[in-house]
Structure 1
Amino acid sequence: MNQTFIQNLLHQVQNGTLPIDAAMEKLAHFPSEETLSACIDHQRTMRTGIPEVIFGEAKSAEQIIEIGQAMLQKQGPVMATRIAPEKAEHVLKALPELRYDKTARVLFCRPQPTDPAAVRGTIVVVCAGTSDIPVAEEARITVQILGHPVQSVYDAGVAGLHRLLSKQSVLNDASVIIVAAGMEGALPSVVGGLVRCPVIGVPTSVGYGTGQGGFAALLGILNSCAPGIAAVNIDNGFGAGCMAVAINRNNP
């Protein structure tokens, strides 16, 4: 339930096409709705610009179905992250409206339409290596679901810097850049030294022993000598996407 939904509802009441009782029924679970396993925050989009999203890793398929059904009854996007393929298969049987991206492990439907007047520009998602793509795709789909234009540049790590430099024009045109990198996490620093826009570094858990599951990449990004770089948690493509959208939003 978002601002557009409320505005349309009020216009329908105003022009007499929707009875007040029917409007009250549509608002019955505003701002929140309690189900057996959750209390769904239907008002979150209006407050923050980002809807409530289901973190599905520790939830059962039955819980995701229950929450998803309640969300589908409201206007606006539906998204569930960290969904294993076997769990997604179970959910899709009950909620065929959803789509599943196996790489990003995301269930989603009804992305917000892009309003050119509401965004500053295009968000670009860059990843260092092919192994970082799942995290980068989680970020890309998050941006897409939230109605912002997005472009990807993948497999452009520092071991072959010419690959990144060949995309300089794409980077220059970005309003925000998300950079996912594992190993030593050097790529966000390199990108930060090439562009004027904000850069969000996403450390990934890709790497060998002393990478410590992404801690080396996280520390590398936090200690970057390139100014203007922010860091989110390890493997948190969703969080990076939300931050990029908040920066890219053209607030009135």
Structure 2
Amino acid sequence: MTLTDDFMEDRDRRERTGLDECIFCASKSIDQISRIVGQIFEEGRRVLLTRLTPEQYAKLPKETKAVITYDALSNTAVVGEPIELNRSLLVAIVSGGTSDLPIVAEAAKTLEYYGYVASVFQDLGVAGLWRIVDAAPALQNFPIIIAVAGMDAALPTVLAGLVPSVVIAVPTSVGYGVTAGGQAALNSLLSSCVPGVTVVNIDNGFGAASAAIRVLNAGNF
């Protein structure tokens, strides 16, 4: 069904895949975002917006801002009322460093949109190996772990060697020199010697959370 002249919503995606179509705001105009949000709000439905920058948010009309809940750290927003949250120990998000926090937040907000509260373990980079070793007993309680790391992105590989959980790795663009932009982190994770690590694209916290939702749906947690 066409919502605007240039946007056709995939209304049946949740029924087919267990995941909603979310609104990727990068490269969309303010007018496009406003029209999409307005139509969805008028129909009384929920939707997650991703990659909505503070600069874009500041330019949105006040009537659009009034119907969304915006989080600047994760660059996400939600149209519609919040749903009841499952606070069981199902998904942990582990970061290599504080600089990875925006991607951690994107993953956490995506999970929250679907009704899951993630437990966040921040700043467990392998340069201080004791940190991940100390956290490992607690992390073993989670069936799914999203591991977020830049630089050489060693954290997800080390973590996957310590716990039986599904590990979903997110390489980030955090770094400098040869690690700038995240390509080194991505290549490192794709080269992991630990079998079974799932790897998503650079800075893709949304994709990692979506993968976690698929696992949760398939496992009937």
TM-score scaled by structure 1? 0.80
1:99 equivalent in structure 2 = 69
Of 67, 71, 76, the match for 2:40: 71
- Change in CA separation of 1:172 and 1:92 when aligned onto 2, cut-off 3 Å: farther
How far 1:114 moved relative to its partner?
3.9
Deviations 1:81-106 (A, max 9, x none): 11111211233622212111111111
Q: What is the one-letter code of the residue matched to 1:113?
A: E
Structure 2 regions of 5+ residues with no counterpart?
none
2:134 equivalent in structure 1 = 166
Matched, 1:130 2:101: no
1:34 equivalent in structure 2 = 3
How far 1:246 moved relative to its partner?
0.5
Of 171, 191, 199, the match for 1:231: 199
Q: What is the one-letter code of the residue matched to 1:233?
A: N
1:81 equivalent in structure 2 = 50
Deviations 1:158-197 (A, max 9, x none): 1112222232233111111101100001000011011111
SS of the equivalent of 1:177 reads strand
Matched, 1:182 2:153: no
- Change in CA separation of 1:115 and 1:76 when aligned onto 2, cut-off 3 Å: farther
1:245 equivalent in structure 2 = 213
Larger Rg, first or second structure (1 or 2): 1
Matched, 1:211 2:186: no
2:31 equivalent in structure 1 = 62
2:19 equivalent in structure 1 = 50
Q: What is the one-letter code of the residue matched to 2:99?
A: S
Aligned CA-pair RMSD = 2.0
Equivalent pairs: percent with the same residue?
A: 39
How far 1:57 moved relative to its partner?
1.0
Is the deviation greater in 107-116 or in 228-237? 107-116
1:194 equivalent in structure 2 = 162
Q: What is the one-letter code of the residue matched to 1:98?
A: I
Q: What is the one-letter code of the residue matched to 1:89?
A: A
Q: What is the one-letter code of the residue matched to 2:7?
A: A
Preserved contact between residue 70 and residue 77 of structure 2 (Cα < 8 Å): yes
SS of the equivalent of 1:156 reads coil
Of 107, 113, 116, the match for 1:145: 113
Preserved contact between residue 3 and residue 36 of structure 2 (Cα < 8 Å): no
How far 1:76 moved relative to its partner?
4.6
